[in-house]
Amino acid sequence: MEGGDSCSPSMANMDDGEVAWRFGAKNPALAAASAQSIRALVYGMYACVDRSDPRPLAPLGHGDPSPFACFRTAAAAEEAVSAAVTSGKHNSYTGAAGLPEACSAVAAYLSRDLPYELSPGDIVLTAGCNHAIEVMMAVLATPGANVLLPRPGYPLYEARAALGGLEFRHYDLLPDKGWDVDIEGVEALADDNTVAMVIVNPNNPCGCVYSKEHLAKVRSTKERMCPLQETARKLGIMVISDEIYDHFAFGSKPFVPMGVFGDIVPVVTLGGISKRWMVPGWRLGWIAMTDPKGVLRRKKLRLKQILESIIVYRGISVDPAAIVQGAIPQIIANTDEAFFIKAMNTMREAAEICYQSLKGIVSITCPHKPEGSMFVMVKLDMPYFEDIHDDIDFCRKLAKEESVVICPGSGLGMRNWLRITFAVDPQLLEDGLDRLKSFCLRHAKFNTKQAT
């Protein structure tokens, strides 16, 4: 983005005579939000790649397995979309919460894993899970409010909060404890103005999956730190559970939705089909009120009528494409279990390749073997390197010299860490990690080179 400046055509500097254009000032909120953008950071790495390098580019920076044949979506999902097109029934605008049949299908899909039934009215469809994040950060941005976000996390939360003027505070995920939430940290951060905490499970960027015990602890901590006078249960902060990687767990721990504990504290579950079905370009996500007691609909509470605000905001925002909404009932009903099993087997294999290769690099530490999502966080052991200043420098040089793109941890609040995705064709992944290893060796200090 910024790098483009030096390439701008000279037209940009042409004198316009006496016209004093009044526009062009940078919106300060947008500048604050763009400082949080991880996209810009990763795109910047692509710009460093040497185009004359004949080796295939290894894209280990962002999680999108859809270009690889081994991760092609289910045939049933493709057929559902083409049937939705040819039916001629999905060419209209859809309502502010989404197409009713699609909301019903999502409610039934999520209810499979919950001890209660969701109704179609608990679901608001969005243009991908990113849009769900936008909606939630916007509706919570009341004057003075703050939200608690994980570090490392998913920077769109920070960007959307900054854009809407919602204060955010970071609690830590603990690498030595399998990236569990630092519960004490959460308690220390919350105050009377805290309205929500966000968790991501299975976790991007850490690759961990939270156990049922840990989720229950997150829940009860929330009750204890409830800042208001009335009962903790009625007035506690809500949990926003980003479950875009629902069922994307290939280790020993099963995926447990936070909504299982929705009777104690209201949970807003964010999700979608982008990751599990591997179709991020289809732009279909959702916001689910996993809140069996209906706290989010009550009118007298502090967080009054949050559901109504969500629908109002969604109504003045964008709609997911009607075609994909129309296809959702069939996408969910017709994708057989075999597709998911095969996808998770390939993902498990890729995560294993990734973990084993990383273990073979002395200057990189991987604190936790990935067991879910498409990512792993690793630490650069800086004293090993001769001529690398930090993670950003590392990633730029790596892109230039090896055509391997990795996301620097700085973009996620973790300086001198890296986020690596393994959702890549296994052969290319192995190749990319081999290049990462030779890069690390080449930039090692002389004495560490001898040791390895």
Ligand X SMILES: *Cc1c(COP(=O)(O)O)cnc(C)c1O
Encoding tokens for residue 199? 């968790």
Rounded to whole angstroms, the Cα distance separating 424 from 108 reads: 31
The yes or no reply on residue 422 touching ligand X (CB under 6 A) is no
The yes or no reply on residue 73 touching ligand X (CB under 6 A) is no
Stretch that binds ligand X, among 90-98, 122-130, 260-268, 331-339 (CB under 6 A): 122-130
Stretch that binds ligand X, among 37-45, 124-132, 346-354, 417-425 (CB under 6 A): 124-132
CB contact at 8 A, 373 and 351: no
Task: Give how many residues touch ligand X by CB under 6 A.
Answer: 12
Tell me the residue nearest to ligand X as measured from the CB. Answer: 128
Residue found under tokens 């916007």? 138
Stretch that binds ligand X, among 87-95, 126-134, 220-228, 349-357 (CB under 6 A): 126-134
Helix (H, G, I), strand (E, B) or coil at 170: strand
* Phi/psi of residue 374, nearest 5 degrees: -120, 15
Name, in order, each residue with C-beta under 8 angstroms of 234's C-beta and a sequence gap of 6 or more: 295, 301
**Closer of 361 and 405 to ligand X (Cβ):** 405
Binding residues for ligand X restricted to 247-276, rule: CB under 6 A: 272, 274
The yes or no reply on residue 421 touching ligand X (CB under 6 A) is no
**Closer of 201 and 221 to ligand X (Cβ):** 201
The yes or no reply on residue 278 touching ligand X (CB under 6 A) is no
* In the complex, minimum distance from the CB of residue 328 to ligand X, in angstroms, rounded to a whole number: 13
The yes or no reply on residue 376 touching ligand X (CB under 6 A) is no
The yes or no reply on residue 123 touching ligand X (CB under 6 A) is no
* In the complex, minimum distance from the CB of residue 20 to ligand X, in angstroms, rounded to a whole number: 41
Task: Note if the bond before 152 is cis, omega within 30 degrees.
Answer: yes
**Which of 398-419 are b and which e, b meaning 16 or more Cβ less than 10 Å from the residue's Cβ?**
bbebbbbbbbbbbbbbbebbbb
* Of the residues 204, 309, 403, 448, which one makes contact with ligand X according to CB under 6 A: 204
The yes or no reply on residue 130 touching ligand X (CB under 6 A) is yes
Strand partners, 123: 288
Name, in order, each residue with C-beta under 8 angstroms of 237's C-beta and a sequence gap of 6 or more: 190, 194, 195, 196, 197, 222, 225, 226, 227, 265
The yes or no reply on residue 202 touching ligand X (CB under 6 A) is no
The yes or no reply on residue 128 touching ligand X (CB under 6 A) is yes
The yes or no reply on residue 319 touching ligand X (CB under 6 A) is no
The yes or no reply on residue 59 touching ligand X (CB under 6 A) is no
* Of the residues 61, 178, 207, 280, which one makes contact with ligand X according to CB under 6 A: 280
* Of the residues 61, 65, 155, 285, which one makes contact with ligand X according to CB under 6 A: 285
Encoding tokens for residue 169? 């505070």
The yes or no reply on residue 335 touching ligand X (CB under 6 A) is no
* In the complex, minimum distance from the CB of residue 411 to ligand X, in angstroms, rounded to a whole number: 13
CB contact at 8 A, 426 and 350: yes
* In the complex, minimum distance from the CB of residue 64 to ligand X, in angstroms, rounded to a whole number: 8
Q: Which helix (H) or strand (E) holds 46?
A: helix 38-48
CB contact at 8 A, 302 and 235: yes
The yes or no reply on residue 180 touching ligand X (CB under 6 A) is no
Rounded to whole angstroms, the Cα distance separating 441 from 422 reads: 21
Residue found under tokens 């200090």? 445
The yes or no reply on residue 154 touching ligand X (CB under 6 A) is yes
> Cα 46 to the chain's mean position, in Å?
20
The yes or no reply on residue 129 touching ligand X (CB under 6 A) is yes
Name, in order, each residue with C-beta under 8 angstroms of 345's C-beta and a sequence gap of 6 or more: 250
The yes or no reply on residue 370 touching ligand X (CB under 6 A) is no
**Closer of 63 and 329 to ligand X (Cβ):** 63
**Closer of 133 and 226 to ligand X (Cβ):** 133
Torsion of CA 321, 327, 333, 336, to 10 degrees: -90
**Closer of 62 and 396 to ligand X (Cβ):** 62
Residue found under tokens 């156990």? 211
Can you give the binding site for ligand X, defined by CB under 6 A?
128-130, 154, 200, 204, 242, 244, 272, 274, 280, 285
